[in-house]
Structure 1
Amino acid sequence: MGRAEERRARQRGSRRAAPRRGRSSGAPGKSGIRRLFTWKKILGTFFGLCLLGMGAFIVLYMVIDIPPAKSDAKLQSNVYKYSDGTVLTRDGERNREIVDLANVPKDVQHAFVAAENKTFYKDSGVDLKGTARGVFNTLSGKGAQGGSTITQQYVKNYYLTQDQTVTRKLKELVISLKLDREKSKDYILAGYMNTSYYGRSAYGIQAAAQAYYRVDAENLTIEQGAYLAALLQAPNQYDWAIATDTGKKLAQERWNYVLDNMVEMKWLDASERRAMKFPVPEEPKPNAGLKGQAGYLVEAANAALKEQLVAEGAAEDLEQAKALVDAGGWTVTLNVDRKKQAELEKAVKAQLTGKLDPGQRKVDADVQAGAVSVDPKTGAVVAMYGGVDYLKHFTNNATRDDYQPASTFKPVVLAAAVDGGAETQDGVPITANTIYDGDSRRPVVDDGRAVGFAPPNEDEVDYGDITVQEAMNKSVNSVFAQMGIDVGMSEVVDVAGKLGMETKGMEAVPAQTLGSMGASPLEMAGVYATLANHGEKVTPALVKSAEHSSRKVEFPDPLGEQVISREAADTVTSVLTGVVNDGTARKSVRNNPLRDGQQVAGKTGTSDNNRSAWFTGYTPELVTSVGLFGEDDEPPHKQVPMYQAGGVDHRVNGGGFPAEIWAAYTFGVMDGTSKFDLDTKQGAAVRRSTPPPATRTPSQTPTEEPTSQAPTTQEPTSQAPTTEAPTEEPTETPSSTPPSTPPTSEEPTDEESPENPLLPNGDRDINRRDD
């Protein structure tokens, strides 16, 4: 080899050796990296991962089904409304009322789409970029980010949790795709609007519309709808009532964003948009809940709804019906009139509760009031007073039936007598003018034999011979006890049932003539409403309608068939006008300055030992029953007397607080004056030609005193018939002085006199037996 060749060989060896000087031992060469990471391999790996991801997604799509809805996503409140449609209250675990999309204006629907998902009507239910961003932010710990479609948000609200996890986001993606294929866009939009949270404890568009603007969803304007749509981004931050200045600025910017998007989407005219002003929401209004009278009304309405669900066959029993009602979603419209309800509450406060002072008189804490007012021409319960406050006294005094109605039952006895053409023991037809022996503790006889019942009159007064009319006016127990036997107690109980009383378990015994059974103000209002309706059955109806998304409940007609003759019903009404003008209710009702010539019929009642006091009265337009009940303020809440409650001298009479409440309410809500249209030839206006004899020979058989003047249907008084109320209160002189020791009989009596007699030492006997 020549020198030149050697030199070239050395140079070639140096070039080959140079790379080896900078290479670590054992490391692969450059050519090895190229062989490992070729473009073909990188692309193959990428497509392989894509295929693997697609395969995994296909598996997920096949495995993940649309799950059942979350239990709390379907929770709704029940909505209770007055007869005019205004909301009384809501009750339930979640303030939500689901509405059909058809009940939401189209412009408001568009506002929600413009705010949250402009491509809603075109997309497949998902936003892949937004979802990918959400997954990345979750993995990197950056929290929740926007980008979800309306469908995805609905899926999250209705089916899934709010957890920010990759698993939940993948489920959201799959379910959204499936839901978009299976359901219409309207279905999804309705679900989204009904499940979203708007702040102010409002879930769903209907609750939000009420919470922010006091309107139903169907009455929302475009401006209001745009604000509610804007709220969803940050409900608490954008709530105008609690927002900071920054929050208010952001809320307005978001509102403008929604409307501008609507213009862009051709859903809103630009000129109309420029004229719009920001709709400042109403101040938050505390949820009435069940406080005050609302709880009593809700409780009674629910009871009526449950009974009707069973009657219709929608529920097998009351327990199942309760589950249906408690599940929520009901809109229950009551027959209650807002004005009358407010006036009844006002009357009770002014005439009773405002006068009670438990700090001064312990007994005042034991007085409970209940009242029900019914329109006798429709059967509608237009007002109800259940107690001082449902959250303080849970028992509804308007529907409770554990207290005696006392002498408010006596008209039922007379109705049975006239309707059945009953006669006295002497064979004399029983009319308003029939004469009875009115002595206290007179033994009741049947076919000449004593039946073992001799009730005392109030304050042991002996009235001697007295007409049925006068006996009703003065509430003479001995007369009606005997009348019950003359009519037949089984017939009396039968008529009581026809008029609307619960007679199951009611024994056909003479003591029942004095109202010894239990009854509620609701029950007694129904009885007197049937009398006011000329004998056609009236079943008081509290609920006007009840609707749910799955059903509508039909309630029976409150007006029924003729259950007693019109003559019998109208005769009782005529007689009961005498109680107001000449009897036990005259002080509180007859001379009331608000009466303005209004005709009134009614009856007082005061039970054994002053445990209850009643006045149930009516005009041609309105029947109202008011009851006062003595209930121990301390558990177990036993029945107790009400002597001297409210500062009265002695006992609480039916002609006192109850009649005062009745008059303040009735005369406060009546629309003009009205007269009874009575088909009767007897009643309070019929007076006898001669007074009863000063002395008489006791007899076991009553007789009838003839009349000398024609009867009239004008409102009666103790003088000649007149349409004007007397200006002077008549006085009554008992025929005997009552004893200073209480009677021993345990049968209930009726105590209706204006005053309690004095004892020999000048004190009132507050421990004597009262009735």
Structure 2
Amino acid sequence: MGRAEERRARQRGGRRAAPKSSSRAAASGSVGAGTTGTTGTRASRRAAASRSSGKGGIRRFFTWKKLLGTFLGLCLLGMGAFIVLYLVIDIPPGNALAQEQSNIYKYAGGKTLTREGDVNREIVDLDQVPKPVQYTFVAAENKSFYKDAGIDLRGTARGLLNTLSGKGKQGGSTITQQYVKNYFLTQDQTVTRKLKELVISLKVDRQRSKDYILAGYINTSYYGRGAYGIQAAAQAYYRKDAKDLDVAEGAYLAALLQAPSQYDWAAASKTGKQLVKQRWNYVLNNMVEENWLDADKRDAMKFPVPEDPQGAQGLDGQTGYLVQAANNDLAKRLVADGSANDMDDAKAMVDAGGWTITLNIDKKKQAQLEKSVKDTLTSKLDAKKRSVDGDVQAGAVSVDPKTGKVLAMYGGVDYTKHFTNNATRTDYQPASTFKPLILAAALQEDAKTQGGDPITAKTIYDGTSKRPVVDSDGNKVGFAPPNEDDRNYGDVTVQTAMNQSINSVFAQMGVDVGMDEVMKVAGELGMDVENEQAVPAQTLGTMGASPLQMAGVYATLDNHGKKVTPALVASAEHKDHTVKFPNPIGEEVISREAADTVTSVLTGVVDDGTARTSVRDNPSRDGQQVAGKTGTSDNNKSAWFTGYTPGLVTSVGLFGEDAKTHAQVTLQGATGTLPGKGRVNGGGFPAQIWAAYTFGAMGKVTKFDLETDQGAAVQPTETPTPSESPSSTPSDEPTTKAPTTSAPESSPESSPEETPSGEVTTSEPVETPSSPEIELPGDPDDPQTQ
């Protein structure tokens, strides 16, 4: 066969020609056999080729190069996606819950009065936490905290996988990540939240210091017992501030964060106690390993068993009144210093929380005042027997006249039962407790009588009941107030008139001084007279006033004429704001001689006047010198005693308030112990409360340092000389009119009452206002038999 034929044979057979070494004879063998063999071989080769082609295709698809490329591609895709997330996700503002704090209220001595707010948290700066205590949290949660970039990739990946697989919460996050979760995000276990946590943690770590992050972490974490943040936790578990924690205590609080409920020693099971002890040891051992704690000190440490949990402190009792008054004072100060635009803004700032407000309240004196009110008054009230007993409200304020500090405040029976603070309310008349201000104005202005005589403690006035008041020209001014029981005293000294609270004398004195001058001096001493009319009826105390105001007025007298503005709040601090309060002691508003003379005169009210039974004869007095004034308003709607020693001024007020409608009503017949269901006078319960409190709260016995030659403190008190009996017969019902040009035509109200001489009478005057808006009070201030 030639070469051409061989080539054609190869083309037909689809294979290479036989090697040239093969003999042509063999190639030209039996044609039949060769044909059959060629067909079988061709089928066999096609099957083998098919098998070889299948294996080669899989290998070509899953080659190591393609797998590596795919992996790198996914990594690049993931990195690209993360970069996009990093660029898109910003550090958000802190969530509202993480920023909520309670306000902390403290007594003057530093002990906590209460906390107010939905979240028990008080954020503290990191420098308020001892450095070794800071390390306990790092040792417990994230030893590499000071070195890492804020994230734990393995822990985060594990958390993501568990989230995707439905296994729930997974630890392993860094302190930075936990802070970001607490402060910026939520506790939701989602892939989206995990990714955000990762990105924000990286950014926070780059933009904030480690100390900032650690402070945020320990202030936002939950420690159990309702305590958020280390300060609240320190108080909840060890009754101390965070700054006073030691390492062992800090290690326990750090250990708590892993399982607050399970590890709370007071509620933990036997297993829980074992676990928290193991966790506590783990924390301390890590500190030694990191050279944050000396090994010998660590070996000497004992497990610090926490205090038992306390009941939640609320606003019941007097606490709510103190908190309410403190908040109001702080809000006013925020407006005054420009921190807030108005009271609404200021109150919102206070309600936002985070304030530590220290009050001037003395814890012991506060307890003494509460006890005095209870023992003397509230324990005797029984609204089931006498409906009037349910209408009795008491308020009191005690002030240090040398510092202006409010040392005690009684706002009512219970803040959760009666929300109005009786110590600060100004809707009741102070009645005859206003009379000393008239005398102060007379002395300050060197005023004279109609006859041209200087007004002093010895000046003689006509004490006739209903005597028409006249001006400097001798003209009647349309005001002629009756005395108590319509009693006529004839000519009496100013001292006697103060002792017996003679209305007719002080009504005329007010006109002699000039009512404009009287109101001016009253305002300078501390009364709120801005919207009050300068009319003769004001001489009987017809304006509204509070025990807080009256305590300030009398404290100014006690302080020799230097203005005293009662201060309830000593300081208010916020993490971002410290408020400065003005000095409660101001400049001299009346001369020392005028102030001291009034004080001297007021000692006569106690020793020879309307407060003698409750105060002078109190067995606990022990020779203590006292000045004060009683007051009982028209229809017995209020009764007062404001008195003072050289170191303590206290104003006590009783108010008749309908328990349902809150309208002003009479106090008459309260406790059912008064003769003939008589009045509740200023010389009765108010003076008794005052004496029980003052003589129990004061220290050593003291005397007034007075620069005056007038008044009962330096001269004997003259005895009043009553004149004839009332010329008119009193009616059963009072008539109140508003004369402007003529004497009043009102008749006294019938009510048995003990007079200064001890005689029980059956008539009771009702004074007349000078205008329809002003209710003229009577002045039955005599002590009563209880």
Which whole-Å deviations, capped at 9, do the CAs of 1:372-431 have from their partners, x for residues lacking one? 110000111111111111111111111000000001000001111111111111111111
Q: Percent identity?
A: 70
TM-score by length of 2: 0.88
Q: Does 1:316 align with 2:344?
A: no
> Against the structure 1 CA distance between its residues 663 and 451, is the aligned structure 2 distance closer, same or farther, given a 3 Å change threshold?
same
Q: 1:287 aligns with which of 300, 312, 331?
A: 312
Larger displacement relative to structure 2 (678-687 or 333-342): 678-687
Q: Distance in 1 between matches of 2:399 and 2:560?
A: 15
1:503-542 residue pairs with structure 2 within 5 A?
Answer: 503-542=529-568
Q: 1:472 aligns with which of 498, 515, 519?
A: 498
Q: Which residue of 1 aligns with 2:449?
A: 424
The secondary structure found in structure 1 opposite 2:69 is: helix
Q: 2:694 aligns with which of 648, 662, 666?
A: 666
- For structure 2, which runs of at least 5 residues remain unmatched after alignment? 1-26, 727-753, 770-774
Larger displacement relative to structure 2 (285-294 or 491-500): 285-294
Q: Does 1:747 align with 2:776?
A: yes
Larger displacement relative to structure 2 (282-291 or 480-489): 282-291
Q: Distance in 2 between matches of 1:741 and 1:691?
A: 22
Q: Which residue of 1 aligns with 2:112?
A: 87
The amino acid of 2:133's aligned partner reads V
Per-residue deviation, 1:83? 1.1
Q: 2:660 aligns with which of 621, 624, 634?
A: 634
Q: Distance in 1 between matches of 2:138 and 2:720?
A: 87
Q: Which residue of 2 aligns with 1:353?
A: 378
Q: Which residue of 2 aligns with 1:122?
A: 147
Q: Which residue of 1 aligns with 2:229?
A: 204
> Against the structure 1 CA distance between its residues 547 and 32, is the aligned structure 2 distance closer, same or farther, given a 3 Å change threshold?
same
1:387-398 residue pairs with structure 2 within 5 A?
Answer: 387-398=412-423
Q: Distance in 2 between matches of 1:39 and 1:730?
A: 116
CA RMSD of aligned residues (A): 2.5
Per-residue deviation, 1:10? 9.1
Is residue 441–residue 456 contact of structure 1 (8 Å, CA) maintained in 2?
yes
Q: 1:618 aligns with which of 644, 661, 667?
A: 644
Q: Does 1:591 align with 2:617?
A: yes
* Number of corresponding residues: 720
Is residue 561–residue 592 contact of structure 2 (8 Å, CA) maintained in 1?
yes
TM-score by length of 1: 0.90
The secondary structure found in structure 2 opposite 1:544 is: strand
The secondary structure found in structure 2 opposite 1:412 is: helix
Q: 1:144 aligns with which of 166, 169, 173?
A: 169
> Against the structure 1 CA distance between its residues 495 and 694, is the aligned structure 2 distance closer, same or farther, given a 3 Å change threshold?
closer
The secondary structure found in structure 2 opposite 1:32 is: helix
The secondary structure found in structure 1 opposite 2:231 is: helix
Q: 1:502 aligns with which of 518, 528, 543?
A: 528
1:271-420 residue pairs with structure 2 within 5 A?
Answer: 271-420=296-445
Larger Rg: 2
> Against the structure 1 CA distance between its residues 742 and 323, is the aligned structure 2 distance closer, same or farther, given a 3 Å change threshold?
closer
The secondary structure found in structure 1 opposite 2:97 is: coil
> Against the structure 1 CA distance between its residues 6 and 106, is the aligned structure 2 distance closer, same or farther, given a 3 Å change threshold?
farther
> Against the structure 1 CA distance between its residues 591 and 168, is the aligned structure 2 distance closer, same or farther, given a 3 Å change threshold?
same
Is residue 611–residue 783 contact of structure 2 (8 Å, CA) maintained in 1?
no
Q: Distance in 2 between matches of 1:357 and 1:551?
A: 48
- For structure 1, which runs of at least 5 residues remain unmatched after alignment? 699-728, 757-771
Q: Distance in 2 between matches of 1:245 and 1:57?
A: 46
> Against the structure 1 CA distance between its residues 592 and 755, is the aligned structure 2 distance closer, same or farther, given a 3 Å change threshold?
closer
> Against the structure 1 CA distance between its residues 36 and 398, is the aligned structure 2 distance closer, same or farther, given a 3 Å change threshold?
same
Which whole-Å deviations, capped at 9, do the CAs of 1:551-584 have from their partners, x for residues lacking one? 2111111111111111110011011111111111
| Runs of 4+ with deviation above 3 angstroms | 1-21, 685-696, 736-746
Q: Distance in 1 between matches of 2:289 and 2:345?
A: 52
Q: Which residue of 2 aligns with 1:564?
A: 590
Per-residue deviation, 1:460? 1.6
1:543-562 residue pairs with structure 2 within 5 A?
Answer: 543-562=569-588
Q: Distance in 2 between matches of 1:743 and 1:39?
A: 110
Q: Distance in 1 between matches of 2:73 and 2:717?
A: 118
The amino acid of 1:481's aligned partner reads A
Is residue 196–residue 204 contact of structure 1 (8 Å, CA) maintained in 2?
yes
Q: Distance in 2 between matches of 1:100 and 1:324?
A: 20
The secondary structure found in structure 2 opposite 1:445 is: coil
Q: 1:75 aligns with which of 100, 104, 127?
A: 100
The secondary structure found in structure 1 opposite 2:99 is: coil
Q: Distance in 2 between matches of 1:744 and 1:505?
A: 20
Q: Distance in 2 between matches of 1:741 and 1:91?
A: 48
Is residue 596–residue 708 contact of structure 2 (8 Å, CA) maintained in 1?
yes
> Against the structure 1 CA distance between its residues 271 and 499, is the aligned structure 2 distance closer, same or farther, given a 3 Å change threshold?
same
Per-residue deviation, 1:305? 1.1
Per-residue deviation, 1:268? 1.1
> Against the structure 1 CA distance between its residues 197 and 743, is the aligned structure 2 distance closer, same or farther, given a 3 Å change threshold?
closer
Q: Distance in 2 between matches of 1:410 and 1:94?
A: 49
Per-residue deviation, 1:287? 2.7
Is residue 97–residue 329 contact of structure 1 (8 Å, CA) maintained in 2?
yes
